[in-house]
Amino acid sequence: MTQYAILLYAPAPADVADMPAEEMEAHMRHSDDVEELGGHIVSGYALHSSAMATSVRGDTVTDGPFIEAKEVIAGFYILEARDLDHALEISRRNPATWRGGVEIRPLLG
């Protein structure tokens, strides 16, 4: 199976602590959906708010995100799927698509 990074986007500013309970429950159920569809979540993490970020560009270090953004990465997981079509089928069911979006990238190596 191929591994994919699934990046979960949410409207900025995003903080998991502010996520509605029903959406959090849907994220928890999504892992069951993944298994039922024949995929496997290797690992996954929610991220602190982008206000907690520190960015480095060359010699410049800034607190917070480097640029203003309409969406921020709220979390990610590593998915094992048969191929890209399978990863897309699984990702379409992710609750992150309700308010933000999902980006799918194959892992190198």
pLDDT tens track for 78-94: 999 999 999 999 999 99
Is 3 a residue whose pLDDT tops 80? Answer: yes
Range of the structural domain that residue 28 is part of: 2-106
Is 15 a residue whose pLDDT tops 70? Answer: no
Distance CA 75, CA 70 (A): 16
The mean pLDDT value of the chain amounts to 88
**Which residue matches tokens 């979006």?**
101
Q: What is the CATH number of the domain that holds 80?
A: 3.30.70.1060
Q: How confident is the model at residue 37 (pLDDT cuts 50, 70, 90)?
A: very high
Q: How confident is the model at residue 76 (pLDDT cuts 50, 70, 90)?
A: very high
Q: Look at the chain and report how many structural domains it folds into.
A: 1
Q: How confident is the model at residue 108 (pLDDT cuts 50, 70, 90)?
A: very high
Provide the pLDDT for residue 67.
Answer: 64
- The tokens for 64 are 């917070």
Distance CA 73, CA 83 (A): 23
Is 57 a residue whose pLDDT tops 70? Answer: yes
Is residue 59 within 8 A of residue 53, CB to CB? The reply is no
Q: How confident is the model at residue 5 (pLDDT cuts 50, 70, 90)?
A: very high
